[in-house]
Structure 1
Amino acid sequence: MKKKFLYTLLLTSIIGYSQIKLITKNGKVTFEASVPAFEEVKAKNESVTCVLNTENGEIAALALTKGFRFKIALMEEHFNENYIESDKYPKATFKGKIENFDYTKVGATFKEYTIKGKLEMHGKTKDISIIAKLKKTEAGLEIDSNFLVNTDDFDIEIPSVVSKKVSKKVNVILDFLLK
């Protein structure tokens, strides 16, 4: 009986200690390609998956392109059919590493980290480097970032008829809570 209890206790502590991956399946990615004086071009995807290896800072994220929601249904349709071509390119992915990452040193206030990796979208891959803020909370690890992506880098064509209404420089906002 004592041996069984000790084995159970040992196994439980090993499993609890060895958890090195944090994950979310409901991360938020918002993008905006609005141009002043024209209609807002903005969408949000609230079902983005992100995984972080806390031992080495490797991070990966996946967003299904059809998961982005716009205020105007016609914009969403044009985004999926004409711009991002969601049937042909159903996902956007990022794989990279947080530089100088030490999970034990992430505190309760935001600290900036550089994340470098490869963003793949619309059939193209680009090396990117972004600044992200990380902090630990009772709910998990928060990761927030705000950066620009150029549509030309991913061969996303903006038709000339709307080229003055849609920016080629797209502001991307990440909001992840990993557990």
Structure 2
Amino acid sequence: MKKLVLLLLICASTASLAQDKILTKTGKITFEASTALEEIKATTTSATCIVNTTNGDIACLALQKSFRFKVALMEEHYNENYMESDKFPKATFKGNIEKFNYRALSGSAQDFTMKGILEMHGKTKEVTTVAKIRKVEGGTEIKAVFKVSPQDFGIEIPSVVKDKIAKTVEITSEFVLK
């Protein structure tokens, strides 16, 4: 009987430790750098995100070559000329969701300040945004929007196309973590 109780306690403690992190490997990230002259928009649905539910630490990763454009030539230019995806294959965000209380989440989205380091194209930048977080049927949904400049990450825009690419790029992330 003592062995059974001990085994149940070990299983329960292991299960509670496993609940300290929620994650997804099917997160959606969209970036838009459109202007009146041209639509420049791409999406990936294979971004990874993990959140520590006890302290609000968050880490996200997207592979550059996973972004899809409407026009294949844009995708090629994005990977070869701008992002240099072979040299800098991923973009990451590591930070913290301030005052995060996983147990207090409900079906209504709550606003949380999210601060961290965005790394892309071999450069890093501190970013702060508001994340909308709520419980959904499939887990915990996190939505956030970052606004960045290509120049912040050493991404050179040739003068020939500079009017076709927005000076500020909007990056929208949507994750359902389990």
TM-score bucket (shorter structure): over 0.9
- CA shift, 1:162, in A, is 0.8
- Deviation per CA, 1:32-83: give whole Å up to 9, x if none: 00001x2310000111011100011000001111110001000000000000
- CA shift, 1:139, in A, is 1.2
- CA shift, 1:105, in A, is 1.4
Counterpart Cα distance in 2 of 1:29 and 1:138: 20
2:27 corresponds to: 27
1:137 corresponds to: 136
- Give 2:120's aligned amino acid: M
- CA shift, 1:16, in A, is 2.1
- CA shift, 1:3, in A, is 4.1
Counterpart Cα distance in 2 of 1:94 and 1:174: 11
2:161 corresponds to: 162
2:94 corresponds to: 95
Q: TM-score, length-normalised on structure 1?
A: 0.94
Structure 1 stretch displaced more, 114-123 or 14-23? 14-23
- 1:149 matched to 2:113: no
- CA shift, 1:113, in A, is 0.5
Counterpart Cα distance in 2 of 1:99 and 1:3: 42
- CA shift, 1:101, in A, is 1.0
After TM superposition, where is structure 1 displaced by more than 6 Å over at least 4 residues in a row? none
* Matched residue SS, 2:157: coil
Structure 1 stretch displaced more, 51-60 or 139-148? 139-148
- Deviation per CA, 1:122-147: give whole Å up to 9, x if none: 11000000111000123111000123
1:122 corresponds to: 121
Counterpart Cα distance in 2 of 1:56 and 1:116: 13
What is the RMSD computed on CA atoms of the aligned residues?
1.1
* Matched residue SS, 2:103: helix
- Give 2:28's aligned amino acid: K
Counterpart Cα distance in 1 of 2:138 and 2:166: 36
1:45 corresponds to: 44
Which residues of structure 1 form unaligned runs of 5+?
none
- CA shift, 1:4, in A, is 4.6
Number of paired residues?
177
2:12 corresponds to: 13
Which residues of structure 2 form unaligned runs of 5+?
none
Percent sequence identity over aligned pairs? 54
Counterpart Cα distance in 2 of 1:133 and 1:155: 29
